[in-house]
Amino acid sequence: MVRFGKKLTADQVPEWRGYYINYKLMKKKVKQYGQQLQQGEKDRRRVLKDFSKMLDDQIETIVLFLLEQQGRLASRIEKLGKQRAILAEQPDISAIAELREAYREVGLDLIKLLKFVDLNATGIRKILKKFDKRFSYRFTDYYVSSRSNHPYSQLQQVFKHVGVGAVVGALSRNLADLQERQGSYLSIYDQPASALK
Q: How crowded is residue 2: how many other Cβ atoms within 10 Å of its Cβ? A: 9
pTM value is: 0.82
Q: Put residue 135 in one of left, alpha, beta given phi > 0 → left and psi -120 to 50 → alpha.
A: alpha
User: Is the Cβ–Cβ distance between 80 and 102 less than 8 Å?
Assistant: yes
The pLDDT tens digits of the residues spanning 100-155 come to 999 999 999 999 999 999 999 999 999 999 999 998 888 998 888 888 877 777 87
Kindly report the number of other CB atoms within 10 A of residue 171's CB atom.
20
185 pLDDT exceeds 50? no
Residue 189 binned pLDDT confidence (cut-offs 50, 70, 90):
low
Residues above pLDDT 70, as percent of the chain: 88
- Are 187 and 176 in contact by the 8 Å Cβ rule? The answer is yes
Cβ atoms of 70 and 163 within 8 Å: the answer is: yes
Nearest to 188 by CA among 160, 163, 168: 168
Element housing 79 (H / E): helix 44-89
- What distance in Å separates the CA atoms of residue 139 and residue 132, rounded to the nearest whole number? 6
